[in-house]
Structure formats: structure tokens, C-alpha cells
Structure 1
Amino acid sequence: MSRLYKFLPGLIICFFTAIFSFYLGEKIPLVGGAIFALMFGILLNLIFHFDDKYLKGISFTSKKVLKFSIVLLGFGLNIKQVLEVGKISLIVMIFTLSAAFGFGWLFGKLFDMNWKLSSLISAGTGVCGGSAIAALSPVIEAEDSDVTYAMSATFIFDIVMILLFPIMGKMLSMSDLSYGLWAGTAVNDTSSVVAAGYAFSDKAGEFATIVKLTRTLSIIPITIIFSYINQKKKSQESRSSSFNIKKIFPYFIIFFILAAIFNSIGFVSTDLSVNLVKVSKFLMIMALSAIGLKTNFRDIKKSGFKPMIHGFIVSIAVVIVSLGVQFFIGQI
């Protein structure tokens, strides 16, 4: 009981910040609870100076609660959807993911960026926005300021895409299927995909949402690959020949996979699945409020504009590659 009590003050702050952020996110889905949570967390950190009494619970929330939210997210995924969207969708996704991480690595090097921040922006752009950033950050042991910057960059580009995608889709005379595939593979956050998809047509919105949920499954190989990269870099920095193979497979990703499998085989009812995903979203917002509470605004300012330019280039690359692959295979 005493162990729980030491986390309680920080947990309470994160909980109430999350409730307010979740409420605003429901009212203004274009922004979303995650961004509100980060903003309020940073603002509270600027106003108040939290001592160790609060920091223990805040740190617990940003790490343990975040991982648990990722596990619950798995109950909203269905591996059968991979088969439903067809091989054309998978081909486009493979190319867009390659573009996101390929261009991310290249321009991260050119801009002399922190590789962890570069990877988070690439994951947010290529995989599924905030969920991918949240899943990858503990695996590569990213700084809180890097997570905040990556989230902010992804949010800005999503707003632009929501506004421009339907207009561009009409200009290109795209079909519902091709536009849905484009939005589902190129727009980042789920709520943004839904907004951009249904702004074109109901059919495009439905297909874009299915493609987006399928794209979320790529969290699994991405986190394992980057866990390996991080472990390799750590062993090189310490000049140690020892390499812990167990750390390549983070326990929360293993449980995430199991959750997706249970949901796919019908072990979890539809109602329970929906409710677990809602809990997952709230806990993720709670964890992101904790990350905001731990983030020093000066650390974000130090990063400058290069990461934002990096994110813009990666986003443009993903948009163009998604269109290009569809054109090449005759989908457009």
C-alpha cells in the first residue's frame, strides 16, 4: 500500500489533466485529447515546479501506464483486416513505410538530428501518428522533449492534410477506393484519416479507416526493429560485446500482439473490444499528460526548426509515394 501511495500525488495530477484533455478532445476531435494533454502538461510544468513527491507518480504514468495503454490498443486491431484490404493496400503500405523511414534516416543525417527524434517523427508519419510515437518512445528510450516535438509535428501536418486531401482528390478525379487508400496510407492519426476520408465520400471514409487500422499493425515489426537498433547502439557506446536478445522483444509489444490475436479469433466480444480501446485512449492521454509535465520547454526550443522541416519532407514523401505506387499499379 505504501508503494502505491508514493505514486498517488503524481497519478492524481495526470488523471485530472487527462479527464479535461479527453473531454476537450471529444469536443474538438481535429486537435484530439493527446495534443491537449501535452499542451496542458507543458503549461502546468511552466507554472508549477513539481518536487519528488509528484514526480514519482508522473514518471510512473509516463512509462508504465503508457505501455499498458499500448497493450489495450491491441484489442482494437484485427489481423483478418490485413487480408480484407487486399494485396494492393499492403503493397502501398510497404512503400510508404519505406519512404517514411528511408527519407527520415537520410534527412535526419543531413540535418544532424538526434536519431531518436528523427525515428519518432518517421514513425508518427509512416505508421499511425501519436500511437506509433507512444509505442516507439519507450523502446528506444526517447527523451520526453523528443516525444512532445514529434507529436506536435505530426499534429500540424495532419491539420494540413485534412484540409488539402479532399480538394486534391477531387482535382485528380480519384475513385472512392483509390482516395480511401491514399488517405489511409498517407494521413497520420486515425481521427485525421476519418476526417479526410469522409470529407471525400462515405465509401472513401470507410475504406480509409480499414486501411489505417491495418497500417497500425506495422507497430509490431517497427518496434522490434528499433528495439534491436537501440540495443545495438547501446552495446557499441559501452564498447561491450554483450547483447541482450530478450530486450529486442519488449514485453508490452508481446502482450499487444496477444491482444490483437485474441481480438482476431473472436475471443473478445465487440462491445468489450470497443470499451478496452476507449480505456486505452484515455490511459494514453493520461501518459502523454505526464510526458508534458516532465517536458522542459527549453529543451524543445533547443531542437530548433530542423526537425519540423524534417517532418514536412517525410510527410510529402509519403504522400507522393502513396500516389505514385497507386498510379504505377493502375489503381489511379
Structure 2
Amino acid sequence: MWFQAKVDLSFQEALVIDQERRNRFILGILFTMVVAGSGTWLAALPGINRIGAMLSAILIAVIYRNVIGYPESVREGIQFSARYLMRFAIVLYGFKLNIDMVIHKGGMLLVYDAMTIVIAITTTMLLAKLFKADLNLSLLLGIGTGVCGAAAIAAVSPILKANDEDTAISAGIIALIGTVFTLTYTFLMPFLPMSAVQYGVWSGVSLHEIAHVAAAAMPAGPDVLAMGLLAKLGRVFLLIPLSLILSFWMKRKGEGEGNQSAPFPWFLVGFIMTSLMGTYLPIPDYVLNDISKASTFLLAAAMVGLGLNVHLSSLRTRAMRPLLAMIIASIVVSTVSFFTLMWFGL
């Protein structure tokens, strides 16, 4: 009887501990959701709306970490958000991609888009080696610049086995610098010697995020906005082959160095499936809009989990040279795409 009572007590204690762990796990997820909600609210305010919900959420998380400290008691839930919510957000992100429109109407735009990706990654990595910058962080920035900003960084980070801090830093930098470029494009628009349609395509081919393209092209009218988004969707489409190439490269690199090879990015299969569903199934526009908002919010929540790993001291020591390489690469992409459009047109 005494032994049975002791066993029952131990079992009850285990249940209590397990329940407490589940509670902390849920609280960790809720913590990232609350911060993401705060970032989304801030991003709706005049002036701040230029930087977007993701960057606002990251900034709140970074300030929290460096002023208050990391909330260790809910770490598991936060890490879950940073890893798995991010993958789920990328899957939902696929609904934004109209594959049929890109393939049948993109035409020459896909060539320009591929050019942008090659120039962005190559220029960033060459400058990173020249500046002796952190190559892992620089590669993430190059991919974000070439493809589709923070979403591309979130998609390739698991493939490249990037740590949470590098992912958060690069996503924040992309959002911030992309906003600066967007404001610059909008200011220059009336003075550029190109047609409105060419300006829209230039925005879509060279700016960092979908939101940046929309903000830069919208003042020129709905037709210009449509062309800009079409050009941008081509770059999102090219994220699929780029991710597969990176996965193959990491697998070869792992085998060569005797390390464990990179796992196949199965969430990209979900990304492709949702892209096909959004393209060919009769899903109402309001449903797609709600899915798009959910994707953005979940990605912001994931970025909170990543932002909590950022040390400002390491940001100063590790990020400045990759940042410089990325800014120069962005200028090169804008300049080359501008003159290519001027000379060759669409």
C-alpha cells in the first residue's frame, strides 16, 4: 500500500509538471502573438506604416530582449513560433502567387527577375568577401534582396541552417532598407525618363518586398501597380527553384565536409500546393485576402521569436559590413534593371 501510494504521488507530480510545461508552451506562443499584434497595430499608424508589421514586431522583440531580457520560462513556445509558425506562414504565403499569370503573362519579366536574383546574390557575396563580412548573414541578405525580402529569408533559413539571430537581423535589415528604397523610388518617380508602365515593372523587378512594390507603384495608378506586382510575383515564383538549388548545394556541402546533409524543405511542397490552389481553384477574393493577412501576421509572430535572440552588441559587430554589402548590391540591382528596361523595354 505504501509503495502504491508513492507511485500514485509520483504520477500526480509528473502530471502537474507536464501541465505546467504545456501552459508555459502555450504562453510562449501567445507572447509572440501579442507582440506581433502590437507590431501590426503600430504598422497601421501614419509614418510607421511605411516599415510594415514584421519590422515593427522585430523591433519590439529586440528592445524587449535587450532591456528586459529573454523570457526563459516560455522559451519552448517562443522557439516553436520561430520555427514552425514561420514554415506554416510560408505555406500560406503561396496563396499570393498566381502561377498561371506569371507563366503566361510574365514573359520577359521572368528573365529580368532571374537577372535580379543573380545580380543581388553575386554582388552581395563578392562584396562580403571583399569587406571580410559574415558570409552566412550576407547570403541571407543577398537572397532577401534578390527574391522577396523577409519571406524569402524565412523560406531559405531552414535550408541554409541559419541561426535565429542571423535570420532576425537579416529580415529586419531587409525591411528597413527596402522601406528607404521605396521612399526614394516614390520621390524620383516624377523625374524619371521612363513610362509609367516601365516604372511599375522597375519597381517589381528591383524592390525588396511585395509591400514595397505596392507602396512605390500605387501612386502611379492601378495599371502600373498590376505590372509591378506581376513582375514581383515572378521573383516569388523563382524562390521555388532557388530553394531547391540551395537544398542540393547544402546537401553536397554537408557530404563534402562530413556533416549531416540538409533536410529536404518539405514546407516548400506546401508552398507550391497552396500556389496551385490559389491559382486554379475558385477561391473567393475575400478568403484569399484573409489568408494573406493571416500569413503576414504569423510571419510577424515568427519574427518575434527570432528577434528575441538578437543581441545589439553582435548587431553592431557582425551586421555593419553585410549591411554595407547589401546596400551596394541593392543600388546595383536598381541601376542595372533601370538601364536594362530603358534599353530593351518589355
TM-score (norm 2): 0.87
Q: What is the 5 A alignment of 1:179-190?
A: 179-190=199-210
The residue type equivalent to 2:317 in the other structure is: K
Structure 2: 5+ residue runs without aligned partners? Answer: 1-17
* Aligned twin of 1:301: 316
* Aligned twin of 1:13: 31
C-alpha change, 1:51 and 1:86, in structure 2 (3 Å) is closer
Secondary structure of the residue aligned to 2:50 is: coil
TM-score (norm 1): 0.91
Q: Write the distance in 2 (CA, Å) between the matches of 1:260 and 1:4.
A: 34
Note if contact 2:251-2:261 (Cα within 8 Å) is conserved in structure 1. yes
* Aligned twin of 1:148: 168
Q: Write the distance in 2 (CA, Å) between the matches of 1:176 and 1:14.
A: 41
* Aligned twin of 2:151: 131
Note if contact 1:166-1:200 (Cα within 8 Å) is conserved in structure 2. no
* Aligned twin of 1:311: 326
* Aligned twin of 2:97: 77
* Aligned twin of 1:25: 43
Note if contact 2:255-2:261 (Cα within 8 Å) is conserved in structure 1. yes
The counterpart of 1:114, out of the listed 126, 134, 143, is: 134
Note if contact 1:145-1:299 (Cα within 8 Å) is conserved in structure 2. no
CA-atom RMSD in angstroms: 2.1
Answer yes or no: is 1:257 the counterpart of 2:278. no
* Aligned twin of 2:193: 173
C-alpha change, 1:297 and 1:176, in structure 2 (3 Å) is same
The residue type equivalent to 2:220 in the other structure is: F
The residue type equivalent to 2:32 in the other structure is: C
Secondary structure of the residue aligned to 1:294 is: coil
* Seq. identity, %: 27
- Give the superposition deviation at 1:4: 4.2
Answer yes or no: is 1:105 the counterpart of 2:125. yes
Larger deviation, residues 303-312 vs 321-330: 321-330
Secondary structure of the residue aligned to 1:113 is: coil
The residue type equivalent to 2:56 in the other structure is: F
The residue type equivalent to 2:109 in the other structure is: S
Answer yes or no: is 1:292 the counterpart of 2:307. yes
The counterpart of 1:88, out of the listed 108, 120, 129, is: 108
Answer yes or no: is 1:271 the counterpart of 2:271. no
Please identify the structure whose Cα radius of gyration is greater.
Answer: 2
C-alpha change, 1:108 and 1:33, in structure 2 (3 Å) is same
Q: Write the distance in 1 (CA, Å) between the matches of 2:309 and 2:320.
A: 22
The residue type equivalent to 1:56 in the other structure is: E
The counterpart of 2:251, out of the listed 211, 214, 231, is: 231
Q: How many pairs align?
A: 326
